[in-house]
Chain A
């Protein structure tokens, strides 16, 4: 019996139908027709539910190993270097322009739950997700580039961290698949990220607990004959209300954590929005998974890829660090301008060391965060071990990003505290840096 969840309600309905059709009373009271109709409808319903549990994504053609994104790009030249490639610089210029002109002006409304309808079309037009999809399946990606992905997170976060998380959530899904997915999974799911329409998708790792430890998950996946059954609760899932696809992480049987590709329409999934301190625009959501039955093919990487949860966490930590760097750069630039323009006691407040030194410290610590983040990403890109680097980057960013956020607000004084200025928003967002795990993946 392959599809338990499909056949069980169907057999019950058929049994009922049989009983009703033979019931004398129903025939007597002229209830036979409506009753049959009702049963028929409910039967259809259960059949449809059964169908919905099947994947809605199909590969137009299989992917062959040579067509995967190439990994561990060797250096062209063995040299310490901080310059971007020409492509990276072009993307950076484009994204920073978009950050300044489009995202920053909409950030306040977005935080109030009002994201312009065409925002996601604009994001799609920027080609963020498609850049991570292999060329063979309609994408434009050639190499798996953690550095390029990191730069995208930094530059969009310069516009607004919440919106950046929303914009990059699908890239997180795509990167999880190109990093850990099987050939079939890539061919099946990734082409939908190459269309004219924005494809919402995300990663679900965190769980609502005061002592969340990313490799000790409470969400469980139990092997069944047909595949896997998921139970548990996920929180802070970016773009959760919209996403059609998730990679949900759960503890598999008595093994460690694994990823599972979950389509939104699968029965047993409830999604609700989570109101939180500062990431409203990212549509952070809670996923409640109750006996969600998954096919065997849902296991991320299936049997062909060695899955490393540590690597997943590390790649995601670098992306959170990159968000922190972008937002802190926004804080620094804003505060610099403000301190130069704000007059107190007859001169700009930036003429005072008490203010100027705070700004100098913000600049130093921001650059420190950036250097650690870049090094971790560059090691990941080259295929060098980067666990320690990602960990240290997180240690640094978790602490210093919040410090920059609170110091930036302090420099604006009362203006920092009111919503007319962006500092209080950045302050709320930067609190998330030390908390978020697995929201995005570079």
Chain B
């Protein structure tokens, strides 16, 4: 039966995350926006709190973004994917930069949860894993990566340069995309887990950024970097039919999470804008002819409607993953909608609040800087539109480039 309210169990989880965001993130939000590249030591305590929360969520949370096997006719459930997007949304309401650098919660963890063998899951359990895909000459076009891997005895040897690695300096593990054979294109691309301190791996640069400054963004050089043979995620063989699709599937799980970040930050901006406007005597009643109300009120409702749409698309995509339904299109829809409206809303809120919004005394200007990244990483707005268009139009990537 159609119900778009969150169940009590999830609401409680969200309430806890919200409390953490408000109590732990907000007070240090501005501090680490200014102290770029300084590790927020306050987060060490958070790691255990979050683990406790996830474990407390019993059947949801701790197992990461795994997906229900499809085909099995089961009762509809609200599982870990929904719990994770909800958590992420609330935490990012507190601070997205800090959320991106919570120990143990990297994107690499999501990749490991999605495709690792039981043995690998056990070996990498409790470790913080970053994700390294982008290269200086391969951004959205991830099939064009040049980092190579070859087998030498019982070890993989990796060579190449990875940029824009979130948590690249702070994480314990880096999940790296590399190709086994440049000539075989995307089918030869595999994920490898590199442990910190592996010979030949070096962090060479940290970016200075527009926003999410609390989160480190690293450049990593791999110079004959050696890792155990068992550190490859998925199969060693090159299956020209399947392989890349398998790798790309990770995104179906992680895109709703990025949508959640965007929704959380936009909600923060909208909440504060409402508060500031109400202090000025504004009253939001959702009444009357849409054209008879004040422009500022109408603008506010439009933003609220867009934010609500992004939020529901995000939950829909996560819900589909929880129930084993293919959700590639919906995951991209959530990301596309949330990415763009998150950015629009945070920018508009600064404008609506005028000099107060632009001033660093409140966080509105920070959120307007932070939000831009959500329309870029994990696939830009345009990449999402490509994915959606291909799904809607039933097109192959060779036709719709």
Q: Say whether A270 faces chain B, with CB atoms less than 8 Å apart.
A: no
| 8 Å CB contact of A371 from B302, B304, B309, B399 | B309
Task: Please indicate the chain A residues that have their CB under 8 angstroms from the CB of B1 in the complex.
Answer: 75-76, 81, 83-85, 147
Q: Pick the contact of B305: A211, A339, A396 (CB < 8 A).
A: A396
Q: Does B372 contact A (CB under 8 A)?
A: no
B286 touches A78 (CB 8 A): no
User: Would you give the 0/1 interface string for B383-394, flagging 1 where the beta carbon is closer than 8 Å to chain A?
Assistant: 011101110111
CB pair B290–A398 under 8 Å, yes or no, is: yes
Residues of B within 8 A of A360 (CB): 336, 384-386, 388-389, 392
B75-83, B128-136, B144-152, B219-227: which lies at the interface: B75-83
Choose among B3, B302, B306, B395 the residue that contacts A382 (Cβ–Cβ < 8 A): B3
Task: Select from chain A the residue with minimum beta-carbon distance to B390.
Answer: A356
Q: Spot the interface stretch: A25-33, A59-67, A361-369.
A: A361-369
**In whole angstroms, what is the CA distance A210 to B69 when docked?**
56
Which of A363, A393, A394 touches B333 (beta carbons < 8 Å)? A363
**A361 in contact with B385 given A367-B313, A382-B3 (CB within 8 Å):** yes
Contact in complex: A391, B301 (CB < 8 Å): yes
Q: Which of A80, A363, A371 contacts B7 (CB 8 A)?
A: A80
B124 within 8 A of A: no
Q: When chains A and B are docked, how far (Å) is the Cα of A387 from the Cα of B310?
A: 19
Check if A392 sits within 8 Å of B2, measured CB to CB: no
Contact A371 B333 (CB under 8 A): no
Q: Is A79 touching B392 in the complex (CB atoms < 8 A)?
A: no
Would you call A356 and B389 a contact (CB within 8 A)?
A: yes
Q: Is A379 part of the binding interface, using a Cβ–Cβ cutoff of 8 Å?
A: yes
Question: Hey, which chain A residues are within 8 Å of B394, CB to CB?
Answer: 340
CB distance from B24 to the nearest CB of A (A): 27
B312 at interface, CB cutoff 8 A: yes
What residues on B are CB-neighbors of A395 within 8 Å? 290, 301-302, 304-305
Indicate with 1 or 0, residue by residue over B358-401, a CB within 8 angstroms of chain A CB atoms: 00000000000000000000000010111011101111000111
A377–B400 CB distance below 8 A: no
The complex places the Cα of A84 from the Cα of B135 at a distance, in Å, of 45
**Is B305 within 8 A of A392, CB to CB?**
yes
Given A79-B77, A388-B286, decide whether A363 and B392 contact each other with a Cβ distance below 8 A: yes
The answer on a CB contact under 8 Å between B305 and A82 is no
Q: A359 near B393 (CB under 8 angstroms)?
A: yes
Binding site secondary structure of chain B: helix
Are A371 and B2 in contact (CB-based, < 8 A)? Answer: no
State A384–B310 Cα separation when bound (angstroms): 22
Q: Let me know if A379 and B400 touch, CB within 8 A.
A: no
- Least CB separation from B384: chain A residue: A360
Report how far A79 CA is from B333 CA in the complex, Å.
22
* List of B residues within 8 angstroms of A356 by Cβ: 385-386, 389-390, 393, 395, 400
Answer whether residue B235 sits at the interface, using C-beta atoms and an 8 A cutoff.
Answer: no
Min CB gap B294→A, angstroms? 14
Q: Is the CB of A379 within 8 A of B5?
A: yes
Residue contact B289 to A211, C-beta cutoff 8 Å: yes
Kindly identify, within residues 89 to 142 of chain B, every residue whose CB is under 8 Å from any CB belonging to chain A.
Answer: none
Contact between chains at A374 and B2 (CB < 8 Å): yes
- Asked if B308 is an interface residue, CB under 8 A from chain A, the answer is yes
Is there an interface contact between B312 and A353, defined as CB atoms closer than 8 Å?
no
CB-based contact B395/A351 at 8 Å: yes
B301 contact from A147, A359, A379, A392, Cβ within 8 A: A392
Whether, in the assembled complex, A220 has its beta carbon less than 8 Å from a beta carbon of chain B, the answer is: no
- Residue numbers in B under 8 Å from A332 (CB-CB): 392
- Please state if A367 and B10 are interface contacts (CB–CB under 8 Å): no
B342 CB to nearest chain A CB (Å): 14
Residue of B nearest to A83 (CB): B76
- Shortest B258–chain A CB gap in Å is 15
Q: By the criterion CB–CB under 8 Å, are A396 and B306 in contact?
A: yes
Check A378/B5 contact, CB under 8 A, given A213-B289, A359-B393: yes
Pair B4/A374 contact, Cβ less than 8 Å: yes
**Does B192 count as interface, using CB distance less than 8 angstroms?**
no
For chain A, the count of residues having a C-beta within 8 Å of the partner chain is 57
Interface residues on B, range: 35 or more
The answer to whether A364 touches B337, judged by C-beta atoms less than 8 angstroms apart, is: yes
Q: B77: which A residues are within 8 A, CB to CB?
A: 79
> Across the interface, which residues of A come within 8 angstroms of B286, CB to CB?
387-388, 391-392
| Cβ 8 A contact of A359, one of B291, B384, B389 | B389
Contact B319 A80 (CB under 8 A): yes
- Within 8 Å of chain A (Cβ to Cβ): is B315? yes
Alpha-carbon distance between A222 and B2 when the two chains are bound, in angstroms: 42
Per-residue B-contact encoding for A331-370, CB less than 8 Å = 1, 0 else? 0100010011000000110110100110111011001110
B19 is an interface residue with CB less than 8 A from chain A: no
What residues of A have a CB within 8 angstroms of the CB of B289 in the complex? 211-213
Q: Is the CB of B4 within 8 A of A78?
A: no
Q: How far is the CB of B363 from chain A (nearest CB, A)?
A: 25
Q: How far is the CB of A355 from chain B (nearest CB, A)?
A: 9
The reply to whether the CB of A372 lies closer than 8 angstroms to some CB of chain B is yes
Return the contact of A351 from the options B9, B82, B309, B399 (Cβ within 8 A): B399
Of B5, B78, B309, B319, which one neighbours A384 at CB under 8 angstroms? Answer: B5
Contact in complex: A83, B393 (CB < 8 Å): no
Task: Answer yes or no: B182 CB below 8 A from chain A CBs.
Answer: no
Q: In this complex, which of A336, A371, A375 has the most chain B Cβ atoms within 10 angstroms of its Cβ? A: A371
Q: Do A363 and B388 contact each other (CB < 8 Å), given the known contacts A79-B77, A79-B78?
A: yes
* Residues of chain B with a CB closer than 8 A to A372's CB: 305, 308-309, 312
Q: CA–CA, A394 to B312, complex, Å?
A: 16
A109 at the interface (CB under 8 A from B): no
Known: A371-B313, A391-B301, A395-B305. A82 touches B393 (CB 8 A): no
B residues touching A (Cβ–Cβ < 8 Å)?
1-10, 76-78, 82, 286-292, 301-302, 304-306, 308-310, 312-313, 315-316, 319, 329-330, 333, 336-337, 382, 384-386, 388-390, 392-395, 399-401
Q: What are 22 of the A-B contact pairs (CB < 8 Å)? A: A77-B76, A78-B7, A82-B316, A83-B2, A212-B289, A215-B288, A353-B389, A356-B385, A356-B400, A357-B386, A359-B392, A364-B337, A367-B309, A367-B316, A368-B312, A371-B312, A371-B316, A374-B4, A375-B5, A392-B286, A392-B301, A392-B304
Closest 4 CB pairs of A and B: A368-B309, A371-B312, A356-B389, A375-B4
Besides A79-B77, A213-B288, 17 new A-B residue pairs in contact (Cβ under 8 A), listed by A number: A76-B1, A79-B78, A80-B4, A82-B316, A83-B76, A353-B382, A363-B329, A363-B333, A364-B333, A367-B333, A371-B308, A371-B309, A371-B316, A375-B312, A378-B2, A394-B290, A398-B290
